[in-house]
């Protein structure tokens, strides 16, 4: 690490240390964040202890383990301080444009780690034994930062007193769907005064009309993925009676309701345009899109009325039918390219997860408890935030910097004992 980066890292950790409570937590905070940034295959406690204090591995292991698994500091306060420190660096390259809701799976073996069960794991692309966490990130075209992160606790865990006690699940934690957790993260970010952005949701969240209505009630615009069979009133039509607007139960008795796919297939040829939205690694990314104004149901923005929204459809030239559908409450006057560009900014959350897992070891925590799970994730976000602020010091066209820390020598014969996948 160069002297400038070293000084900035020291300032950054000292600032985080101001919200972790006791002064004696600042050293393990610094060491833990250092261990997450250091090169290394595993970012669990034992190998990080060996890298950050090779002459006293056992004592360092105990210090880091205590700090992350039982330390009584607040994840919310640390995440808020991370945002306070990192957002100014990100916004040097443009204002915050979007908020992104998503979830990620962390593969595990065994059944004792908090929240683990067979469920869909995006990292593996199939159902597998894993933990799932819901997150909220804020982003612009230059960078992104997670600002909220919460474990999804499956119903069988939430209702099992013995498992809850062993994992240290707080008394006030009850079963909530991922959509309900997402709304809590959104409401908390909204109340905190973070820079506003258009909320982006994939299909799993966007199909929940109650979530979309709640987002609108907060005064936020959204671009939300929906299923092709989602029902709506065709362009130029609407409910014959306001009290017949759609809810989550579906069709009611409105004969004019049709699916998003029916709307798409009924559009004239001239409605479709090829639009490119950003430069990829080899060439510009582009596809064929159409957009049309439709009415879906109460969106929470205008009580008692059914407002118009954009229906955006993607239909690549080489596909037999449309592949993606979105609803959006962005203004009617937004340009076609802008609408596509915003909808496609969900790639930033994919980059978040990739780097959080590959660079700072988000999925490497070996403990089993609720507090340690969230503390480790918060510290991973802290390390990721520092890296993001360092990159912000260079123009977007500059090459990405190598590892900021060099790897210290390890004791002869050292081998980490555990594997996060076995927890």
Q: pLDDT digits over 125-177, tens only?
A: 899 999 999 999 999 999 999 999 999 999 999 999 999 999 999 999 999 99
Whole-number pLDDT of residue 400:
47
Pairing between β-strand 126-139 and β-strand 98-107 as defined by DSSP bridges: antiparallel
Strand-pair partners of 134: 103, 150
The CA–CA distances, whole Å, from 51 to 26, 67, 173, 361, 378 equal: 18, 17, 36, 14, 20
Which structural domain, as residue segments, surrounds residue 412? 3-80+366-422
- What's the CA gap between 371 and 5, in Å, rounded? 30
pLDDT 10s digits, 341-384: 999 999 988 888 999 999 999 999 999 999 999 999 999 999 99
pLDDT the model gives residue 238? 76
41 domain residue, yes or no? yes
Asked whether residue 248 carries a pLDDT value surpassing 50, the answer given is no
pLDDT of residue 21: 87
- Contact criterion met (CB below 8 Å) for 184 and 136: no
Q: Is the pLDDT confidence value at 325 over 50?
A: yes
Residues 319 and 373 in one domain: no
Query: Pick from 308, 329, 350: which residue ends a domain?
Result: 329
Name the helix (H) or strand (E) containing 217.
helix 209-217
How high is the mean pLDDT of the chain?
A: 88
408 in any annotated domain: yes
Question: And the tokens for 306?
Answer: 């059914």
Pair 383, 305 in one domain = no
| Tokens matching residue 212 | 């979309």
String of DSSP letters for 315-362: --TTSSS--EEEEE-S-TT--HHHHHHHHGGGHHHHHHHHHHHHTT-G
| Euclidean distance between CA atoms 344 and 346, whole angstroms | 5
pLDDT in tens, 73-85: 999 999 999 999 9
For residue 402, what pLDDT is reported?
Answer: 41
Confirm whether 140 is domain-assigned.
no
Please report whether residue 106 resides in a domain. Answer: no
pLDDT at 41: 86
Structure tokens at 71: 């330390």
Is 172 part of a structural domain of the chain?
Answer: no
At residue 5, the pLDDT reads 85
pTM: 0.89
Q: What is the pLDDT of residues 27-57, one digit of tens each?
A: 999 999 999 999 988 999 999 999 999 999 9
- pLDDT at res. 352: 87
Tell me if residue 363 falls in helix, strand or coil: helix
On whether both 241 and 307 belong to a single domain, the answer is yes
pLDDT computed for residue 228 by the predictor: 97
Query: What percentage of residues in the chain have a pLDDT greater than 90?
Result: 74
In-domain check, residue 411: yes
Q: 238 by DSSP, 3-state: which?
A: coil
pLDDT digits (tens, 9 = 90+) for 197-230: 999 999 999 999 999 999 999 999 999 999 999 9
- For residue 398, pLDDT over 70 is answered with no
Both 321 and 380 in one domain: the answer is no
Beta-sheet strands, E only, within 280-315? 284-295, 308-314
Distance CA 210, CA 192 (A): 22
pLDDT classification of 239: cutoffs 50, 70, 90: confident
Same domain membership, residue 372 and residue 306: no
Report the pLDDT value the prediction gives residue 283, as an integer from 0 to 100.
78
pLDDT for 419: 38
Residue 43 dihedral angles phi and psi, to the nearest 5°: -120, 35
For residue 399, is it within any domain?
yes
Among 283, 312, 329, the domain boundary falls at 329
Q: Are 97 and 106 in contact (CB under 8 A)?
A: no
Residues 230, 287, single domain; the answer is yes
User: 309 — phi, psi (to 5°)?
Assistant: -135, 165
86 lies in some domain:
no
The mean per-residue pLDDT over the stretch 259-270 comes to 96
Residues 311 and 382 grouped into a single domain: no
Same domain, 281 and 375: no
Calpha distance 128→422 (Å, rounded): 14
* Mean pLDDT calculated for residue range 265-286: 89
pLDDT range class, residue 396, cuts 50, 70, 90: low
Give the pLDDT of residue 423: 44
pLDDT at 393 (0 to 100): 77
What is the domain count for the chain? 2
Specify the 3-state DSSP secondary structure of 326: strand
Helix (H) or strand (E) holding 36, with range, is: helix 26-37
pLDDT at 3: 58
């Amino acid at each position: 690490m160069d002297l400038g980066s070293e000084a900035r890292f020291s300032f950054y950790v000292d600032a985080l240390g101001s919200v972790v409570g006791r002064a004696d937590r600042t050293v393990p905070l610094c060491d833990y964040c250092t261990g997450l940034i250091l090169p290394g295959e595993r970012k669990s406690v034992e190998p990080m202890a060996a890298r950050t204090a090779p002459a006293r591995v056992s004592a360092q292991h105990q210090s880091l383990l205590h700090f992350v698994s039982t330390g009584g500091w607040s994840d919310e306060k640390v995440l808020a301080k991370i945002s306070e420190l990192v957002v100014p660096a990100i916004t040097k390259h443009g204002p915050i444009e979007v908020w992104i809701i998503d979830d990620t799976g962390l593969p595990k073996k065994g059944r004792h780690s908090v929240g683990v069960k067979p469920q869909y794991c995006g990292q593996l692309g199939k159902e597998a034994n894993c933990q799932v966490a819901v997150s909220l990130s804020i982003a612009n075209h230059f960078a992104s930062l997670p600002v909220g992160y919460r474990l999804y606790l499956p119903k069988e865990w939430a209702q099992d007193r013995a498992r809850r006690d062993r994992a240290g699940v707080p008394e006030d934690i009850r079963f909530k769907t991922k959509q309900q957790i997402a709304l809590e993260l959104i409401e908390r970010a909204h109340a905190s005064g973070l820079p506003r952005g258009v909320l982006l949701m994939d299909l799993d969240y966007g199909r929940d009309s109650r979530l979309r209505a709640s987002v609108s009630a907060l005064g936020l615009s959204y671009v939300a993925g929906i299923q092709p069979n989602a029902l709506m009133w065709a362009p130029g039509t609407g409910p014959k009676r306001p009290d017949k607007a759609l809810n989550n139960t579906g069709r009611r008795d409105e004969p004019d309701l049709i699916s998003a796919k029916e709307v798409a297939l009924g559009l004239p040829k001239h409605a479709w345009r090829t639009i490119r939205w950003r430069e990829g690694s080899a060439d510009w990314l582009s596809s064929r899109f159409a957009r049309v104004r439709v009415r879906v149901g109460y969106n929470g923005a205008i009580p008692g009325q059914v407002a118009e929204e954009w229906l955006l459809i993607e239909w690549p030239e080489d596909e037999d039918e449309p592949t993606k559908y979105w609803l959006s409450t962005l203004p009617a006057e937004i340009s076609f390219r802008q609408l596509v560009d915003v909808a496609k900014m969900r790639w930033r959350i994919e980059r978040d997860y990739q780097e959080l897992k590959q660079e700072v070891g988000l999925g490497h925590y070996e403990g089993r408890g609720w507090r340690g799970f969230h503390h480790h994730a918060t510290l991973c976000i802290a390390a990721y935030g520092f890296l993001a602020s360092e990159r912000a010091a260079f123009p977007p066209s500059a090459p990405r910097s190598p590892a900021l820390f060099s790897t210290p020598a390890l004791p002869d014969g050292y081998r980490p004992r555990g594997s996060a996948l076995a927890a």
